[in-house]
Structure 1
């Protein structure tokens, strides 16, 4: 399952609060229809029925069902850039 770094968790929490999303809302990751192999991120008020839900308290991330397997071994990270928050994916660190 996709994991979140502390930076990503805090960034998602901040974006959700800034957008005044309800408690059911969060960041949704879906495969881009316009450009294969890329992902679209959007703030949504609730997950879609078949989304995988990653709930870390105030930060909720919803992963499109068809994308969940591809992202299962990835970790979502975030950093603040001049254009605002930026998200990136990286392989999860091996356990042990």
Structure 2
């Protein structure tokens, strides 16, 4: 199952603070194209078939198609000097 670094958990919590629902999180879905990989979006709640990953108060919803590809991955995040967030996937080692 997908895991999150401490940086990723903090970034997700900061982004989802904008959602009025306590059940909110970041949703990762398969973009449908190998060139673009995955789509990230803010979501008030998971879709019915989503897997839910929780770490340090951060919630990630992963659709079924993406869950298979992300099974052994680690989500990391970096925040730039202007507050922009970049997410990256690594292999769990």
Query: Which residue is 1:72 aligned to?
Result: 71
Unaligned runs of 5+ in 1: none
How far residue 20 of structure 1 moved from its aligned partner, in angstroms, is: 3.0
Give, in whole Å, the separation in 2 of the partners of 1:39 and 1:7.
19
Output aligned runs, 1:46-85, within 5 Å. 46-81=45-80, 82=82, 84-85=84-85
* CA pair 60-66 structure 1, distance change in 2 beyond 3 A: same
TM-score norm. by structure 1 comes to 0.87
Give, in whole Å, the separation in 1 of the partners of 2:47 and 2:68.
17
Query: Which residue is 1:12 aligned to?
Result: 12
TM-score norm. by structure 2 comes to 0.89
Structure 1 runs of 4+ off > 4 angstroms?
none
RMSD: 1.5
Q: How many residues align?
A: 91
